[in-house]
């Protein structure tokens, strides 16, 4: 009798809490609760592993909107400038902002990948190098061929070639990550680029500024809303 009282009074509390803890940790969830857990944990993990595309779309969109916007203003649709911006300034603006955007893309991809290694890391790295090598080759072509062109056509060569590189890499990215919107965006860029180059420098700059730049900013804003929701 004394023995029983002793054990229960001593052990009652610890056993109860230990049991409670075990129950809480390994508690049998209902199928609904389990499915909800899978969905919540899955999307939380996905958010961590997949880089946020919003800064990328916004940075590139702003670069094209302002860069090609400046070129459009100095070209004009009929060849007479609306605003007297020196050619060098407009070009430096466009390519400087694009270099900044490339930095933003690289940084957002790097940062989130850190605890993860493997196939996706290699894929991202090769894709990143593809941008560098493609732009390098484009630069070599534009410098060589551009030496024989009148100033207006020279700007068109640089703008047309750079957007071709971007369009191809967006389509490739869509194929690599099975991201249909990315592929579609690249395809639209290619078509706009072709139409713009055919129509002339002013039209090309307008299409790129509004279509590519505006489209990319819009995509960024839409994606941000979706992420928040």
Partner 1 sequence: MTPELDPVIHAQARLRVVVTLNALGEGDSITFPGLKDLLGMTAGNLSVHLGKLEEAGYVEIVKTHRGRTPVTYVALTRRGRLAFEEYTAALRTLLDTTSAPPSGA
Contacts with partner 1, residue ranges (CB under 8 A) = 23, 25-35, 37-38, 41-42, 44-46, 48-49, 114-121
Q: What is the rounded distance in angstroms from the CA atom of residue 212 to the CA atom of residue 192?
A: 8
Q: How far is the CB of 50 from partner 1 (least distance, A)?
A: 8
Q: CA 95, 101, 105 angle in degrees (round to 5)?
A: 145
Compute the distance between CA of residue 165 and CA of residue 114 in angstroms, rounded to an integer.
28
Q: Which of 167, 200, 199, 160 is nearest to 183 (CA)?
A: 167
Nearer to partner 1 by Cβ, of 4 and 30: the residue is 30
**Closer to partner 1 by Cβ: residue 27 or 228:** 27
Residue 51 CA: distances (Å) to CA of 109, 111, 160, 200, 227: 6, 8, 29, 37, 12
Residue 20 Cβ, how far from partner 1 at the closest point, in Å? 12
Compute the least distance from the CB of residue 124 to partner 1, in Å: 10
Between 27 and 229, CB nearer to partner 1: 27
CB 179, min distance to partner 1, A: 13
CB nearer to partner 1: pick between 120 and 187: 120
- Cα-based distances in Å from 97 to 38, 77, 132: 41, 23, 15
Q: Which is nearer to partner 1, 37 or 143 (CB)?
A: 37
Minimum CB separation of residue 31 from partner 1 in Å reads 5
The upper half-sphere exposure of residue 219, i.e. CA atoms within 13 Å in the direction of its Cβ, equals: 23
The torsion angles phi and psi of 183, rounded to 5 degrees, stand at -65, -45
Cβ pair 66, 208 in contact under 8 A: no
Q: Of the two residues 36 and 225, which places its CB atom closer to partner 1 in the complex?
A: 36
* Minimum gap (Å) between residue 175 Cβ and partner 1: 15
Pairwise CA distance, residues 188 & 117, whole Å: 33
Residues whose CB is less than 8 angstroms from the CB of residue 59 and which lie 6 or more positions away in sequence, other chains included: 100, 101, 104, 105
């Amino acid at each position: 009798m004394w023995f029983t009282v002793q054990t229960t009074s001593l052990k009652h509390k610890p056993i109860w809490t230990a049991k409670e803890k075990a129950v809480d940790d390994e508690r049998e969830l209902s199928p609904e609760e389990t499915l909800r857990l899978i969905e919540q944990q899955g999307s939380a993990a996905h958010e961590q592993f997949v880089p946020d595309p919003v800064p990328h779309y916004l940075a590139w969109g702003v670069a094209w909107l302002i860069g090609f916007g400046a070129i459009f203003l100095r070209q004009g649709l009929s060849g007479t400038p609306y605003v007297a911006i020196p050619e060098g300034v407009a070009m430096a603006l466009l390519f400087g902002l694009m270099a900044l955007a490339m930095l933003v893309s690289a940084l957002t991809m790097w940062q989130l990948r850190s605890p993860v290694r493997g196939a996706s890391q290699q894929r991202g790295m090769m894709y990143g190098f593809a941008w560098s090598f493609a732009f390098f080759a484009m630069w070599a072509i534009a410098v060589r061929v551009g030496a024989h062109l009148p100033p207006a056509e020279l700007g068109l060569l640089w703008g047309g070639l750079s957007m071709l590189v971007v369009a191809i890499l967006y389509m490739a990215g869509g194929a690599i990550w099975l991201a249909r919107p990315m592929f579609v965006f690249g395809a639209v860029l290619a078509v706009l680029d072709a139409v713009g180059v055919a129509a002339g420098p002013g039209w090309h700059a307008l299409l790129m500024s509004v279509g590519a730049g505006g489209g990319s900013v819009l995509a960024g804003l839409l994606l941000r809303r979706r992420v928040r929701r």
